[in-house]
Structure 1
Amino acid sequence: MLRTRILSALVMGPVALLAVWVNSLLFSLLAAAAAAVMVWEWDRMTRGRFSLAGQIAAVASAVAAVLAPEMPFAALGLVWVSTLTTAALSRSGWLAMGSLYVGLPVIALCWVREAGGVETLVWLLLVVWATDSGAYFFGRSIGGPKLAPRVSPNKTWAGLLGGMSCAAVVGATAPLWVGGGNPFALTAFAAVLAVTAQIGDLFESSIKRRFNVKDSSRIIPGHGGVLDRVDGLIAAAPLVALAVVAMGGGLEIWQ
């Protein structure tokens, strides 16, 4: 299983970075495909089927991802209308929640690529990946007290601290390859994002536990579904988008 997880990560990571590096449109198209899959996973996970309302939410999330770089407010409006529409069609708050849960972070990711720059989005990806890797290896090697045993029995406090430490290293070294930014501020923010990513992981685990589902799907070998792989990223993305708004640009000017 570990070998499969590593091989899948070695394929997915470079693909994501290449899409980020090439241009906003390519990344938005990749994010759009991921958004549609995540809505499909959410609908099947929480309601046992991919309904018409779920299909509408999936299309809306995908279109919102494409609109986000140039028309973020239109993208937000589309997700909001989709949320209200799917709630009315499905008569279920779960699908409406899923529409927001997927749509808003995807918009944030695509908009950060445009407004914050390539470096900011790459930094976010590296912080989340460092968090996941640190949490996994420190948690496995050290063990110790459980972080949230009722939600995710395998997660430990050692894993959380290890993930935060690895993320902080990414934050501290970012100015060396970005050419700007306050290393102390980036280190602290990276640690906050690490905690946020872990909360996102726990939230998705709680949803799966509630509906007695092991994985959101089996689309990614060794990782389960797309939601299983990016639950931390979609939790952290809105915070980075807010930082770009507050600071007026990407991480090279964050102080």
Structure 2
Amino acid sequence: MGQAQQAPGPHVRGQGKQRSNPTPKGGRNLPAATAVGLGMLFLVLGGLLFLPLGFVLITTAFAVFGVWEIFRALEASGTRLPIIPVMTGTVGMPLAAYFGGLESLLFAMLLSSVAVLLWRSLEGAAGSARSIFAGVFTLTWVPFLISFAVLPLHTSGGETPIGLWPGGVVPPGAWQTATLLLLVVSNDTFGYLVGASLGKHPMAPKISPKKTWEGFSGSIAGALVIGVLASVFVLGKPWWVGAVLAVGMVAAATAGDLAESMVKRELGIKDMSSILPGHGGVMDRLDSIVFASPVAFILFSAVVGT
């Protein structure tokens, strides 16, 4: 959920002739971005609250597309990613987290890393170190981290459902994941709105010049409101729990956004792809979530309980 907290873009020649263009100063086609963003949010929340395995499969699909974008970007820069073992691990890790919990997720990550090492060893020594590092890095960055959004859905001491939630009752873990998603979306939305209109002071000009401190402040303020409301009315916890979650999610989401910007700058690309109108690539949407998911899992375990 990147590209938040953006400062106004530079003046472009001929801009006066393009006033009907829906792309605002922040650099997005706002109507397309809003439609795509809301569609993805309703799809994900619908699966999460009514068909948990559907949510897991949607999460897995996003991870697969994200890894494919990374594969293409690395290949264009001369790094060969061992795509078969990496994709196998990408599909396996969210399912391992859902059906087996944390221990299964860690084992799937270890097994996938070993598979990358063995697969690349059979292809010869030339460029193997760089290829193995890229494979393990990609496995960690996308499927492993995003699987922490699935972990709260694992039912400890009971049967993890394949169909609807048993009895139609949504468990606390699903509401926790829903809160995570709402906080990441609020970080992106409020950061973008404030940063695009008021942003003047870049946070990291050498990595992402459009990310501003004003936008970051907007993210904090918006997430605090959403976090407090979600804590009281969704999680049934004190207001301060929502405040802690909000600050943690904004910090993690911003770090994830800047981390992806750093990778893209190193690879010399603006967006990972153009598959999502108004958003760029799938990784341009997942960058915040992959960092926020493990932080949310830790915070929920510490201040909410599972």
Residue 70 of structure 1 aligns to a residue in which SS?
helix
CA 1:100–1:179: 2 relative to 1, 3 Å: closer
Deviations 1:89-138 (A, max 9, x none): 15321221011111222221111233652211111000000000011010
Match of 1:161 among 212, 217, 220: 217
Separation in structure 2 between the aligned mates of residue 151 and residue 47 of structure 1, nearest angstrom? 22
RMSD: 2.0
**Deviation at 1:51?**
6.0
Q: 8 Å contact 2:97–2:151 — kept in the other structure?
A: yes
Q: Which runs of 5+ in 2 are unaligned?
A: 1-28, 121-127, 156-171
| 8 Å CA contact retained: 2:60, 2:90 | yes
Q: Which amino acid aligns with 2:278?
A: G
What amino acid is the match of 1:108? F
Q: Which amino acid aligns with 1:211?
A: L
For residues 15 and 95 of structure 1, do their structure 2 counterparts lie closer, same or farther at Cα, with a shift above 3 Å needed? Answer: same
Q: 1:233 to 1:52 in 2, by over 3 A?
A: closer
Distance 1:181 1:3, change over 3 A: same
Q: Which residue does 2:236 correspond to in 1? A: 180
Match of 1:95 in 2: 135
- The aligned runs of 1:1-255 (5 Å cut-off) are 1-48=29-76, 53-72=82-101, 73-87=103-117, 89=120, 90-91=128-129, 92=131, 93-114=133-154, 116-178=172-234, 180-247=236-303, 249-250=305-306
Return the structure number with greater helix share: 1
Cα deviation, residue 26, structure 1: 1.0
Task: Assess if the C-alpha contact under 8 Å between 1:131 and 1:164 holds in 2.
Answer: yes
| Amino acid paired to 1:126 | L
Equivalent AA in structure 2 for residue 71 of structure 1: G
Residue identity in the other structure for 2:147: I
Between the two structures, name the one with larger relative contact order (CA 8 Å, sep ≥ 6): 2
Do 1:112 and 1:244's aligned partners in 2 also have CA atoms closer than 8 Å? no
- Deviation, structure 1 residue 146: 0.6
* Equivalent residues of 1:76, 1:107 under 8 A apart: no
Contact 2:45 2:178 (C-alpha < 8 Å) held by counterparts? yes
SS of structure 2 residue aligned to 1:117: helix
Per the TM alignment, residue 191 of structure 1 is displaced from its structure 2 partner at its CA by 1.3
* Range that drifts further, 14-23 or 106-115: 106-115
Q: Deviations over 1:54-96 (max 9, x none)?
A: 2321221112111212212223211222123324515321221
Change (3 A) 1:249 1:23: farther
Once the two structures are overlaid, the 10-residue window that deviates more, 74-83 or 20-29, is 74-83
Distance 1:225 1:184 in 2: 35
Specify the SS of the correspondent of 2:99. coil
Counterpart-to-counterpart distance in 1, 2:141 and 2:188: 20
| SS of equivalent residue, structure 1 residue 222 | coil
Amino acid paired to 2:67: V
Answer whether contact 2:231 2:241 (CA < 8 A) is retained: no
Offset of residue 178 of structure 1: 1.9
Shift of 1:245: 3.4
Letter in 2 for 1:12: M
Structure 1: distance between partners of 2:272 and 2:56:
22
| Cα distance in 2, alignment partners of residues 185 and 222 from structure 1 | 33
Give the TM-score of the pair, scaled to structure 2. 0.76
Length-normalised TM-score, structure 1: 0.91
CA contact 2:152–2:177 (8 Å) conserved in 1: yes
8 Å contact from structure 1 (residues 60, 78) kept in 2: yes
Larger radius of gyration: 2
Structure 1: runs of 5+ lacking an equivalent: 251-255
**In structure 1, what residue type is equivalent to 2:37?**
A
Cα separation, partners in 2 of 1:52 and 1:151, compared to 1, 3 Å:
closer
Percent identity over the alignment?
A: 28
